[in-house]
Amino acid sequence: MSLELVRLANEQKMNAVIEELKETRKELLTSNAELLKAQNKLLSSQSELHSRIKDLEEEVNYFKAKDRMRRLAPSNVGFTARLTNSITLGLSSQQALVFDNVYINVGNGYDATTGVFRAPVPGMYVIMVTVSSEGDSIADDIEVVHNGVALCRLTQVHYGGCSCNVVARLKVGDAVWAREFFHRSDDHIRGNYFTTFSMGLMIRDDDGGSSF
């Protein structure tokens, strides 16, 4: 074989190798692009996973805090208070009765300076108010209210007494108190053990409940 034929054969082989290398390079570039695409997708999924984990951690912390508050909140709530001395209403319209002598106040829901009970926990409460009048011809008209809405009313005359017993569902912070509903200038309420205000939690409502 002549040298020219040998040269041509070697050149053909070299060209074939070069073409093969080009194809290999092209395949490697394609594979690299696919790997980069897969890597970006993985990084995106990883970012979404971290974000979801963070959301779940915040949700777990929220429910832990809520459960802690639920456990720390008093499960028993109740109070009883009475008037120490007889009083005269009629000083202002819808004047509140302030039962100043507190026997028991579990949960500290009752305020003896205002006469208002505010629910420290949600649930069903029993409400009991007894009012006695003082005077031979005096009529006292009292109502028990929940957030300002009347639950029941009492009217008594001639040293008489009357009671109001109701059950209401209260949310946290809901207020209950007794007040005058018919305005006079000299309504006399008998003190000592004749006029009392009591409330107690019957069933606790963990989801907050609704109004009455």
Q: Is the pLDDT of residue 204 over 70?
A: yes
More confident call, 51 vs 127: 127
Number of domains in the chain: 2
At which residue do the structure tokens 């509140």 appear?
96
Q: What pLDDT digit, counting tens, does each position of 41-70 carry?
A: 888 888 888 888 888 888 888 877 766 666
User: Tokens standing for 111?
Assistant: 């305020």
Q: What pLDDT digit, counting tens, does each position of 1-16 carry?
A: 566 666 666 677 777 7
Do residues 94 and 32 share a domain? no
Q: What is the pLDDT of residue 211?
A: 40
Do residues 68 and 136 share a domain? no
In a domain, 111, yes or no: yes
Do residues 28 and 87 share a domain? no
In a domain, 209, yes or no: no
Q: What pLDDT digit, counting tens, does each position of 87-103 carry?
A: 877 666 688 899 999 99
More confident call, 197 vs 65: 197
In a domain, 46, yes or no: yes
Residue 128: pLDDT band with limits 50, 70, 90 = very high
| Residue that finishes a domain, picked among 21, 49, 72 | 72
More confident call, 210 vs 107: 107
Q: What is the pLDDT of residue 64?
A: 76
Query: Domain range spanning residue 192?
Result: 75-204
Helices (H), 73-110: none
| Residue that finishes a domain, picked among 26, 52, 72 | 72
Extended strands (E) in 62-195 = 78-82, 87-88, 101-106, 110-111, 116-118, 123-132, 139-146, 149-157, 161-170, 175-180, 188-189
| Residue that finishes a domain, picked among 72, 92, 111 | 72
Do residues 147 and 182 share a domain? yes
